[in-house]
Structure 1
Amino acid sequence: MNHKLLEIVACPMCQGRLEYDKGNERLICHFDHVAYAIEQGIPVLLAERAEPIFSQEEKE
């Protein structure tokens, strides 16, 4: 993931910073607990396509 691009993209729901998850090739918003897929090298930053993620604390 291009670091310059990562500095300017934001979560479409909260406009917060996104973190690149290299292992799963997706962008994560920790505030909204959602992940955005990266398809063919392009982030899909559509709120309706966001996938919910759960932290370890929420699973327990």
Structure 2
Amino acid sequence: MIDQKLLSILVCPVSKAPLEFVADKQELVCAASGLAYPIRDGIPVMLETEARELTLEEKEQYSH
């Protein structure tokens, strides 16, 4: 679980858009950039090189 206070201040380093926590995948997702940042040992890894690109299905799911 990620701290809600931390989540409220984190933004995507690429788009500067807010992130959505996906608990079952332990990722922070940015719909704007289409990237998912991993959370390892409770620590968000906010590096573009470590992020994975969202699938088309995921992009549709997270774009509200």
Equivalent residue, structure 1, for 2:7 = 6
Aligned residues: 58
Q: In 1, distance between residues paired with 2:16 and 2:55?
A: 20
Render the CA deviation track for 1:16-58: whole Å, top value 9, x for unaligned: 1000001101100011111000011100000111100124287
* CA RMSD, 1 decimal: 1.6
1:57–1:18 CA distance, 2 compared to 1 (3 A): closer
How high is the TM-score relative to the length of structure 2? 0.82
- Runs of 4+ in structure 1 deviating by more than 6 angstroms, as ranges, are none
Q: Which has the larger radius of gyration?
A: 1
Q: In 2, distance between residues paired with 1:44 and 1:53?
A: 16
Q: Which amino acid aligns with 2:30?
A: C
Equivalent residue, structure 2, for 1:43 = 44
Q: Give unpaired runs (5+ residues) of structure 1.
A: none
